[in-house]
Amino acid sequence: MTSAQVDKHHDEHGRSGVVGGDAPEEGYERGLGSRQVQMIAIGGAIGVGLFLGAGANIAKAGPSLILMYALAGVIIFFIMRALGELLLYRPVSGSFAEYSREFLGPFFGYFTGWTYWLMWVVTGMAELTAAAIYINYWFPEIPRWVTALAFLLILFVANLISVKLFGEIEFWFSMVKVTALIGMIVIGLGVLTFGFSAAGDTASVSNLWAFDGFFPKGVGSSLMTLQGVMFAYLAVELVGVTAGESENPEKTLPKAINTLPWRIALFYVGALTVILCVVKWTEFGPGVSPFVAAFAKIGIPAGAAIVNFVVLTAALSSCNSGMYSTGRMLRTLADNGEAPKAFNKLSATKTPAFGITVSVLFMGIGVVLNYIVPEKAFGYVTSVATAAGIWTWLMILVSHVLYRRAVVAGRLPASSFPAPGGSVFSYVAIAFLLFVTGLIAYDADSRICLYVMAGWAAALAIGWFVLKARNPQVAQRGEGTLEKVG
């Protein structure tokens, strides 16, 4: 593909045709500064999956959960380096759908855009459920659905105001999470080293193997937690959605991606290791944050309440991010004729207000679930979100493999941020994600999400045929790309 063809190809996508480097103008306000993009990246990797979901996973896997987080963290880094190379080749808002469209064809762009939208809507439901559980810690008499609805409305208003306000809220939410996690690690190390607090007598590194070994329930049981672990990592790819609103994507995006291994090592592996040394794994269970439980055990006055506040901000932060990304993804779909044109309009404050509003209405289903089945709401929505997230990550990786082939063949310009090892690690990550999908299919409790995804795929396929019948150009745009690029 010559540079002229590349420009023409990008013009067909409704973009500016600028390749590899300059982000096209999409009408968004470039209101996200470096500190905000950094914190969105950090905060995206610290969500309710770690704070609430880890309790159930510790009960299933014991201390070996630490190894599962480390293994999944390595794969997440491979995915993010693949995304980073694509982002610096062509930084656009709604990036995954755009790259799927460019390298796999229009149907995959359409499918990925809508599936990523579903992932965030469902994640928003999970976060609202978690926030309601945390509020019950202080006010058990308030019904969960009332709390979920109140938080939904507050974040909705904030997202309509401006991207700067979204960035600022996300910055401070993330700052609370990061500061608190570092504080927990320091206090935990203090308990281990100096033996103070109520947990001092029993706190020991030997807790990692003293109770039936490092794999107390067996390797198989540990591997089954990978689906929950992957849910904890959902949202690290949010950095890709911010590309169209970052002040300087060429500098901020590589920095945010390259610091990911340190964040995973510290916040996930480090925090869990310290907590499982301080409190033996047998004392944790589902439905309770291991961080709240650990601080209650340590016996620091108001410690558990403070941690509960922190995990509440984590849930609200993730829901806030969900509202941000769903509106942008719907706008990208509308831009390509794959969603109603109404989603394409920006408000006076340059936010995709209509898309955000519709997404919030769907997140409201989470409020209904909290009313009907409060005990099961969290488990249902996290499994669906994980399945949708795995699809998104697979599309990033496959797009990256095809992009690398095109670069090697001289058909496309090289990115300024190449992934190490070319596309080798993308293949490794693809194999890992397919393995996790197999685990989901094997587990009777989480298998329901694959049925939901099958129904979702069928609905999208019907939608695609209707779209093609009404507007044949939608299916023609980018057709043959796979032939040229792959």
> In degrees to the nearest 10, what's the CA dihedral of 404, 410, 411, 417?
40
Please report, for the chain, the start and end positions of each structural domain, with discontinuous segments joined by +: 35-485
pLDDT in tens, 386-428: 889 999 999 999 999 999 999 999 999 999 999 999 899 999 9
**pLDDT > 70? residue 235:** yes
What pLDDT, on the 0 to 100 scale, is given for residue 325?
80
Predicted confidence band of residue 245 (pLDDT cuts 50, 70, 90)? low
Q: Could you tell me the CA-to-CA distances from 312 to 89, 123, 127, 132 in Å, in that order?
A: 37, 15, 9, 9
As given in the structure block, the two tokens for residue 446 are 């989480």
CATH 3.40.50.300 for domain 35-485, yes or no, is no
Buried b vs exposed e over 249-288: b needs ≥16 C-beta within 10 Å? beebbbebbeebeebbeebbbbbbbbbbbbbbbeebeeeb
| pLDDT band (50, 70, 90) for residue 98 | confident
Cβ-based neighbour number of residue 204 at 10 Å: 14
Q: Which neighbouring-strand residues pair with 32?
A: 246
Assess whether pLDDT exceeds 80 at residue 65: yes
pTM of the model: 0.83
The pLDDT tens digits of the residues spanning 308-351 come to 888 888 888 888 878 878 888 888 888 888 888 888 888 777 77
Q: What is the mean pLDDT of residues 460-483?
A: 74
Measured between alpha carbons, how far is 408 from 397 in angstroms, rounded to an integer? 17
Q: How confident is the model at residue 482 (pLDDT cuts 50, 70, 90)?
A: very low
Q: Is the pLDDT of residue 39 over 80?
A: no
